[in-house]
Amino acid sequence: MGKDRYFLAAMIALALSAIPTTSDAGVDTLDIQQQLSMPGVKLVVVEFYATWCKPCMEAVPKWKALHKEYGPKGLRFIVISGEGGKDVCSKPPDWSPDVSICDNDGMIQNDFGVKQLPQSFLYSWEGNIAMTSHYVEPIEEAIKRYYKDTNLKIVISPPDVIGDKYAVSSNPIWVRDFIIEKIRASSKFDVVKSSNYAISASKSDVCEKGFPPNSVLRSTLQGDDRGNRNLTLSLEKEGCVIASATEKYFGKGMNEDIDSMKTAVSSAVWKIITMVVQPKVAKMVDEGDEWFQTTQERVIVQFESNPAGATLLVDGLVKCKETPCSVMIPKGTHEVSMQLERYLPEKQVVSLEKDKTIRWEIKPNFGWLNVYTEPSGLNIEIDDKPVGRSPIKKLILSPAPHKLSVKSPCYFMKEESFVLNKGETKELEFSLKPREGAIDVTIEDENGNPARAGVSIDGVKIGTAPGTFKINVCAKKIEISNGKESWSGSLDVREKQTDNIHAKMKPIWIKVGNEKGSIGGPIMAASGVIVGGLGGLFTYLATSSANDAHYAKNSNSMQEAKDRVGVYNGLAITSYVTGGGLLIGGIIWWILNPPGDKKKKATVSIIPQINEQDFMLHASGEW
């Protein structure tokens, strides 16, 4: 009974220590060792804050998110409020950490060396993490890395039963499951069930002290008909027994007492865990020395991707939204990934020991398609969805089977199924067969005799009439020309049928006007006569000036008269030459362009017969 009381008291103490606590009264110390020793606790975060500290309050949502995600996995949060002499400390709003401590006198802050707020500390129960930061992100990265890299497992094997039905009358697997339940509730390790787990031989003459990862917990149930029953738990690895505990349980006849069995399991598990779980914490040294790791040594890495624009993640956290970018990262091994829409994620574990540049080719999670058709300009559909007209170049498609269709009212449709692979460029070429009708063209001249003329469809000559021609059902215009006159008209071609076109090339003469000859010649001749008359006037003035010079009374008057004679003679000569030229030119123009009726270009209409329907053609020429 004494042992039972001891066990009951121990289990009550463990249970009470696992309950989240809040302390509004001031305390002088915080025992990290004690916090790390609590069942299931793997990491402890201590956050120093005050409600008047804006960065502290801005960090609360981030701490809440971390607590929510990792609290069930063994992350314990302790917040310490220092309001600077106020009587009452306030808890972080809308958040219930595991422990809330009021430190108005600043004793705990002094013990931890806190000089400014906010400041947080992170510890692991193994004693391999002791770091501090004024920001959430470094602590967050360390927590994520711990749960990613730490792999502590206990393999729980089914019980060995000695004494058969006296040891346990029911299926012994329930005992294993109850052991697993207690291990998970009171320890820091993951549990792996195993139906058959062989112990390997020891690789060393020395057994490892403490808890080695991936150990095996064996259980033995032994009973006899006299009521003697024992449960033995043995933690083993590679031939070494790391810890062992034996507890009695009770029964009568062939039936064990289930409550007694559960009590024995709880006590044995507690003893095993107590023996192997020995939390460690970084110890404070003399003042002025570093007793924690303030920051890890970091490197600056330039990340580039082809194509650019990828999102960069380091250890699962987004570091930049678009490459290229530079990132400061703690030295060591990290999981790096680049993600870009429509491309395959690129993920690698890289060792970063110095500044460097990392360039990755990101492989596309799609392919490219080029489509060419003869003729071009045809409608292209992929999987029954229009994508444009040919030619189609660098069309991005998912890596999968596809169906391509080439459609046009003028050509027979073509379809082809194909498979496009990731990163592949596929080219498809098609030559489509036209849908055709025919026209039979005959020509008749103005005298009713058969005649020949060239035939063109949509501006392209196809032959000489008379003749029968295959043409596309989408042909729109026909032209007929004999070298002097030409006719054109619209077409409506019927598929796989022949239409008759008979053109009568007898022009219709139309009097379009009566124009007189040009009057430019007479006007020019009359101008010549007038200019010549001016020459006669200048001659008269020159003669008059000569007489004045002859009868002049002094030398000055004589000289002035002679000067006038020279000027008037020059003007007279110019007038005679110009007037004569105009007169002769006007006479010649009049001769070449006599007045009278003129020919003029005219547009006429001719109506031939096409399958007994009127077909309008237009002719143009000079008549």
Decide the pairing of beta strands 385-389 and 379-382.
antiparallel
Instruction: List beta partners, residue 388.
Output: 380
Q: In this predicted model, what pLDDT tens digit does every residue of 227-237 receive, in sequence order? A: 788 888 888 87
Alpha-carbon gap, residue 130 to 135, rounded angstroms: 15
Question: In this structure, which amino acid lies at residue 382?
Answer: I
pLDDT score for 616: 38
φ and ψ at 191, to 5 degrees? Answer: -120, 135
Domain boundary, last residue among 431, 448, 474: 431
Q: In this predicted model, what pLDDT tens digit does every residue of 203-224 receive, in sequence order? A: 444 455 455 556 788 888 888 8
Domain holding 220: CATH number? 3.40.50
Question: What's the burial of 272, exposed, middle or buried (CB within 10 Å: 0-12/13-18/19+)?
Answer: buried
Q: In this predicted model, what pLDDT tens digit does every residue of 151-200 receive, in sequence order? A: 666 777 778 888 767 778 777 888 888 888 887 776 666 666 554 444 44
Distance of CA 419 to the CA centre of its chain: 23
Inform me whether the pLDDT recorded for 487 exceeds 50: yes
Q: By the 8 A CB rule, do 456 and 478 touch?
A: yes
Alpha-carbon gap, residue 527 to 522, rounded angstroms: 9
Alpha-carbon gap, residue 461 to 529, rounded angstroms: 59
Q: By the 8 A CB rule, do 567 and 529 touch?
A: no
Q: State the CB neighbour count (10 A cutoff) for residue 217.
A: 25
Q: Is 214 strand, coil or helix?
A: coil
**For residues 281 and 439, which has the higher predicted lDDT (pLDDT)?**
439
Alpha-carbon gap, residue 56 to 77, rounded angstroms: 15
Same domain, 348 and 401: no
Same domain, 137 and 222: no
Helix axes 54-70, 136-149, angle to 10 degrees: 10
Same domain, 374 and 396: yes
Q: Give the long-range contacts of residues 492-499, CB within 8 A, separation 24 or more.
A: 493/436, 493/437, 493/439, 494/437, 495/435, 495/436, 495/437, 496/436, 496/437, 497/437, 497/438, 498/437, 498/438, 498/439, 498/440, 498/468, 499/437, 499/438, 499/439, 499/440, 499/610, 499/611
Inform me whether the pLDDT recorded for 582 exceeds 80: no
42 is a domain residue: yes
Alpha-carbon gap, residue 449 to 505, rounded angstroms: 10
Same domain, 374 and 337: no
Which helix (H) or strand (E) segment is 181 a member of? helix 173-186
Domain boundary, last residue among 378, 409, 431: 431
Both tokens of 97, joined, read: 């950490």
Domain holding 493: CATH number? 2.60.40.10
379 is a domain residue: yes
Q: Which of 54-63, 214-223, 370-379 has the largest mean confidence? A: 370-379
Q: By the 8 A CB rule, do 43 and 145 touch?
A: no
Residues comprising the chain, all counted: 623
Q: How confident is the model at residue 572 (pLDDT cuts 50, 70, 90)?
A: confident
Inform me whether the pLDDT recorded for 377 exceeds 80: yes
**Residue located via tokens 């409550």:** 259
Q: Is the pTM of this model over 0.75?
A: no
Same domain, 459 and 337: no
Give yes or no for a cis peptide into 594 (omega within 30° of 0): no
225 is a domain residue: yes
**For residues 132 and 606, which has the higher predicted lDDT (pLDDT)?**
132
Residue range(s) defining the domain that contains residue 527: 520-592
Domain holding 383: CATH number? 2.60.40.1120
Task: Supply the DSSP string of 377-413, one letter for each residue.
Answer: --EEEETTEEEEESSEEEEEE-SSEEEEEEEETTEEE
Enter the DSSP assignment of 51.
Answer: T
**For residues 570 and 309, which has the higher predicted lDDT (pLDDT)?**
309
Same domain, 465 and 587: no
Same domain, 12 and 144: yes
Q: In this predicted model, what pLDDT tens digit does every residue of 138-152 receive, in sequence order? A: 889 888 888 776 666
511 is a domain residue: no
CB within 8 Å of 382: residues ≥ 6 apart: 369, 395, 397, 402, 403, 404, 405
Instruction: List beta partners, residue 240.
Output: 237
Q: How confident is the model at residue 16 (pLDDT cuts 50, 70, 90)?
A: very low
Q: In this predicted model, what pLDDT tens digit does every residue of 95-149 receive, in sequence order? A: 788 888 888 777 888 888 888 888 889 988 776 667 888 888 888 988 888 877 6
Count of domains observed in the chain: 6
Worst-scoring range by mean pLDDT, 165-169, 330-334, 358-362? Answer: 165-169
**Residue located via tokens 């609590």:** 38
**Average pLDDT score over residue span 351-360:** 90
Inform me whether the pLDDT recorded for 5 exceeds 50: no
Inform me whether the pLDDT recorded for 606 exceeds 70: no
Which helix (H) or strand (E) segment is 215 a member of? strand 215-223
Both tokens of 531, joined, read: 């200019």
Task: Supply the DSSP string of 65-100, one letter for each residue.
Answer: HHHHHHGGGTEEEEEEE--SS-SS--PPTT---SEE
Domain boundary, last residue among 399, 415, 431: 431
617 is a domain residue: no
Enter the DSSP assignment of 344.
Answer: -
Percent of the chain at pLDDT exceeding 90: 23
Both tokens of 232, joined, read: 């033995």
Same domain, 563 and 448: no
pLDDT score for 407: 92
**Residue located via tokens 């360039």:** 359
**Average pLDDT score over the chain:** 76
Q: By 3-state DSSP, what share of the chain in percent is helix, strand and coil, each rounded to 5?
A: 25, 40, 35
Q: Where are the beta strands (DSSP E) in 255-342?
A: 255-256, 298-306, 311-314, 317-320, 325-330, 332-339
CA distances from 247 to 5, 216, 219, 227, 417 (A): 14, 19, 11, 14, 73
Domain holding 12: CATH number? 3.40.30.10
Instruction: List beta partners, residue 619.
Output: 487, 604
Same domain, 95 and 220: no
Same domain, 18 and 126: yes
**Average pLDDT score over residue span 572-583:** 77
234 is a domain residue: yes
- The distance between the two most distant Cα atoms of the chain, rounded to a whole number of Å, is 187
Same domain, 245 and 352: no
616 is a domain residue: no
Inform me whether the pLDDT recorded for 283 exceeds 70: no
Inform me whether the pLDDT recorded for 305 exceeds 70: yes
Inform me whether the pLDDT recorded for 40 exceeds 50: yes
**Average pLDDT score over residue span 350-377:** 92
275 is a domain residue: no
Same domain, 451 and 531: no
Worst-scoring range by mean pLDDT, 178-182, 360-364, 511-515? Answer: 511-515
Helix axes 520-550, 555-592, angle to 10 degrees: 160
Give yes or no for a cis peptide into 118 (omega within 30° of 0): yes
Inform me whether the pLDDT recorded for 33 exceeds 90: no
